[in-house]
Amino acid sequence: PVHSRRKTSSRQAFTATPFRLLVLTILQNEVVRHIETTLARSLFNCDESAAYAGTALAFRDRLVIDWNKTQQNQTFADPKRVYYLSLEFLMGRALDNAMLNVGLKDVAKEGVQDLGFRMEDVISQERDAALGNGGLGRLAACFLDSLASLNYPAWGYGLRYRYGIFKQEIVDGYQVEIPDYWLDFNPWEFPRHDITVDIQFYGNVRKYQDENGKQVSVWEEGEIVQAVAYDCPIPGYQTATTNNLRLWSSKAASGEFDFQKFNSGEYESSVGDQQRAETISAVLYPNDNLERGKELRLKQQYFWCAASLYDIVRRFKKSKKAWREFPNQVAIQLNDTHPTLAIPELQRILIDQEGLEWDEAWSIVQKTFGYTNHTVLPEALEKWSVPLFQHLLPRHLQIIYDINMHFLQYVERNFPKDRDMLGRVSIIEESQPKMVRMAYLALIGSHKVNGVAELHSDLIKTTIFKDFVKIYGPDKFANVTNGITPRRWLHQANPRLSELVASKLGGYDYLKDLTLLHKLEKYVDDKDFRKEFQEIKYANKLRLAKYIKESTGVSVNPSALFDIQVKRIHEYKRQQLNIFGVIQRYLAIKAMSPEERKKLAPRVSIFGGKAAPGYWMAKTIISLVCAVGEVVNNDKDVGDLLKVIFLEDYNVSKAEIIVPASDISEHISTAGTEASGTSNMKFVLNGGLIIGTCDGANIEITREIGDENIFLFGNLSEDVEDLRHAHVYGNYEVNGDLQGVFNAIQQGKFGDANRFSALVSSVVEHGDYYLVSDDFDSYIKTHAVIDEAYRDQETWLTKCITSVARMGFFSSDRCIDEYAETIWNVEPLKPKETNGSA
């Protein structure tokens, strides 16, 4: 049927090359075969979801072939491999990415058109794989894309949550969380029921002397849970390398329910073990930059670390190399402190199971691990209570105490006069109860520690890890500034801009070497290029305006300045500063004469992002944004001059629509609090400008694109401590404009003032920890500068184009090459043959 359809189809088919036609026919046949056989559906009642499933399965088949070859090639060559351990992988959708990486999206588009579908509709059938909270999980996803695209022999290891990050609904202006059961149909994973690992919890440790007089520790009894591997292929861009992301799922070790209990009528408790085991990988903890110390979270961490290490060690042992070769074959990167238990676990395997001496084992451990720190916020630094550890992982606690003892002895020998230092750097915090400081354990057990942007990497050396710089010297610390994959964040999200760039640079090579973008600068004055660039931005804004209308019912003017802040809601990210600024603008518009109004560029302020379910202040910020939107959007007197939108359920696939449509985006954290930020990079790469503080990667973005192309404001990180001190001990007056904003809120202009009183009092009464009042004036003035700049569309356009051309540094390919060279010491492994279909 497909063949006959082709004969009557579009003109394009006749102009296509025979090879293209052949690929198209083959691909179409594969899609149809999957719809008819795998899904057992008739083509006559094939809907969009079946079209998605058929297309996804056809592409999956292609990935699997390259995936198998890649794994065989790696097994044969046995190079040093990288293992990226991350509790979060925020992958988003896979089909579009697979089609682009394989290089067959255009053909597939034509194919599904022939079947009567639009590719956009087919793609949007897929649910996001949302196994992450925000920047940390998305970084891990970008890194996987770069590792494969650059042909590094690499594996990702994570957890296969049954429920990813919750779906956010806004009901009467409040956030409501809905569970995200995303696994209904997931063609991108392969259960490996033959790859299982038994993971032990609880129990006790027995010590005895063996026949040679050596002390031996045995971890006995307790509970066993089984880890089952689920593998996801990760295709590289225009290469046959397809790496593996292995996610672990938990199930009861017996695999069966308790028959005895079942037969005696205790139906509920007969499935108890099973349910308890499955709970481990059931849900992603929905906190970003916040740790809560829950037992189940520690269980998740150990379950995943132990299963991954077992797998890594098993693979190494196949090569029959000596243990001292382990760090020459294996590099393990810890994405934050979440996988820190891998350190005592490897030490345990080496000494308890493989019989190595402590020192030899410890030297292997230290050479193997690298640790990436992503935050200096105290509330985000993981600590686990010693009693909880003792109960859940008794052997690991002993090992941690031994690691600490060796470390403190070393510190004492080298710093005999600084007695206080021991308490400061000890892995064990002498609090009530005692706590295990995971960041210290991660640092001590790794050979390199890196921050994620220059300022952040400097800050960790002067704040949380200051003493450790003295102990180990500065060379243990490195910076690897974050990056993003241009494949998803330009080529996929903004295909027209990607095509325009390719037309000027003579092809798509820049997607593999983003520094080539600099060649765009010579087109900055090219009339046709400018026109096309501007038209693309407008089309992207139209698309977002349409989405806003569909999802909120509000009509926005696509010619207005789109001002966007989308990211997790957090006080340190300061969405409250933004909405206070919006209120100030609203009040100012209301007070303006008609002449003044005419001069003002219309604005649409767009917010999006999830609040952790237990983070009340963050939820209050969302409800203030919604309440302000209600009033402003219905104020006829203001009309198009200002609209305020809260976009529900911000996620990766929505970001792909939102990011290309911005004129200005907001990256306005209190200086020194945002480690890097990565959406700042995405927005600039897509031809938007940014307003930001001197924080995280904003600083390096400024260095690259030039300070004339960015709107910076606010206090610097070196002044933050003094300013906070002044709030607590001095008499601080709130600036007049901000007071006006607070008055409007308190007078009930946006509904019941009590709902928002905590936001006001956090500034006025509780020390303004995030320095909203200190930065407000400069924030408002900078927005006035933006208004002025936007009126001059030609200069604005020049800034946008110049900035895109200078963003080459921020590719995640550059990050991965830096990690490979300075931390992992791994080399790419050329694939055996290039991807035939690309």
CB of 812 vs ligand RUG, minimal distance in Å: 11
> x/- contact string, 151-170, with ligand RUG (CB under 6 A)?
--------------------
Among candidate residues 34, 109, 251, 374, the one labeled active-site is 374
383 is catalytic: no
Site for ligand RUG contains 203 (CB under 6 A): no
* C-alpha span between 748 and 610 (Å, rounded): 25
In the Cβ-directed half-sphere of 416, how many Cα atoms lie within 13 Å? Answer: 1
User: Which single residue is written with the structure tokens 């695999």?
Assistant: 255
Applying CB under 6 A, among 23, 154, 365, 380 the residue interacting with ligand RUG is 380
> x/- contact string, 673-702, with ligand RUG (CB under 6 A)?
-xxxxx-----------------x------
Site for ligand RUG contains 141 (CB under 6 A): no
CB of 568 vs ligand RUG, minimal distance in Å: 8
The DSSP letter of residue 749 is B
CB of 530 vs ligand RUG, minimal distance in Å: 32
* C-alpha span between 690 and 683 (Å, rounded): 8
DSSP string, 658-670: HGGG-SEEEE-PP
> Which region, judged by CB under 6 A, interacts with ligand RUG, from 308-316, 372-380, 386-394, 529-537?
372-380
* C-alpha span between 762 and 835 (Å, rounded): 57
Query: What is the footprint of ligand RUG within residues 436-465 (CB under 6 A)?
Result: 452
- Torsions phi, psi of 297, nearest 5? -65, -40
Query: What is the footprint of ligand RUG within residues 259-318 (CB under 6 A)?
Result: 288-289
Site for ligand RUG contains 139 (CB under 6 A): yes
* C-alpha span between 40 and 791 (Å, rounded): 58
70 is catalytic: no
**In 480-531, beta strands by DSSP E:** none
CB of 664 vs ligand RUG, minimal distance in Å: 20
531 is catalytic: no
Closest CA to 360 of 404, 323, 312, 314: 323
Site for ligand RUG contains 717 (CB under 6 A): no
**Residue 711 · residue 690 · CB < 8 Å:** yes
Among candidate residues 678, 782, 799, 814, the one labeled active-site is 678
Which residues fall within 8 angstroms of residue 355, CB to CB, at 6 or more apart?
none
Q: Which two tokens stand for residue 712?
A: 């910076």
- 477 SS3 class: strand
> Which region, judged by CB under 6 A, interacts with ligand RUG, from 202-210, 227-235, 468-476, 669-677?
669-677
Site for ligand RUG contains 668 (CB under 6 A): no
Closest CA to 732 of 769, 681, 700: 769
Site for ligand RUG contains 376 (CB under 6 A): no
CB of 161 vs ligand RUG, minimal distance in Å: 16
**Does residue 307 come out as left (phi exceeding 0), alpha (psi in the -120 to 50 range) or beta?**
alpha
CB of 207 vs ligand RUG, minimal distance in Å: 36
Using the minimum distance from each CB to ligand RUG, give the nearer residue, 53 or 139: 139
* C-alpha span between 612 and 607 (Å, rounded): 16
Number of residues that bind ligand RUG (CB under 6 A): 18
The alpha carbon dihedral of 133, 135, 138, 144 has a sign of negative
**Residue 191 · residue 160 · CB < 8 Å:** no
Closest CA to 255 of 227, 235, 232: 227
Applying CB under 6 A, among 110, 336, 532, 571 the residue interacting with ligand RUG is 336
Task: Report the residue closest to ligand RUG, judged by CB.
Answer: 135
* C-alpha span between 343 and 446 (Å, rounded): 8
374 is catalytic: yes
573 is catalytic: yes
**Residue 795 · residue 128 · CB < 8 Å:** no
Using the minimum distance from each CB to ligand RUG, give the nearer residue, 233 or 677: 677
Among candidate residues 41, 81, 138, 567, the one labeled active-site is 567
CB of 525 vs ligand RUG, minimal distance in Å: 34
Site for ligand RUG contains 125 (CB under 6 A): no
Applying CB under 6 A, among 86, 281, 347, 375 the residue interacting with ligand RUG is 375
- 605 SS3 class: strand
Query: Which sequence positions are flagged as catalytic?
Result: 374, 567-568, 573, 678, 682
* Residues of the shown chain interacting with ligand RUG in the complex, contacts defined by CB under 6 A: 134-136, 139, 288-289, 336, 374-375, 380, 452, 482, 674-678, 696
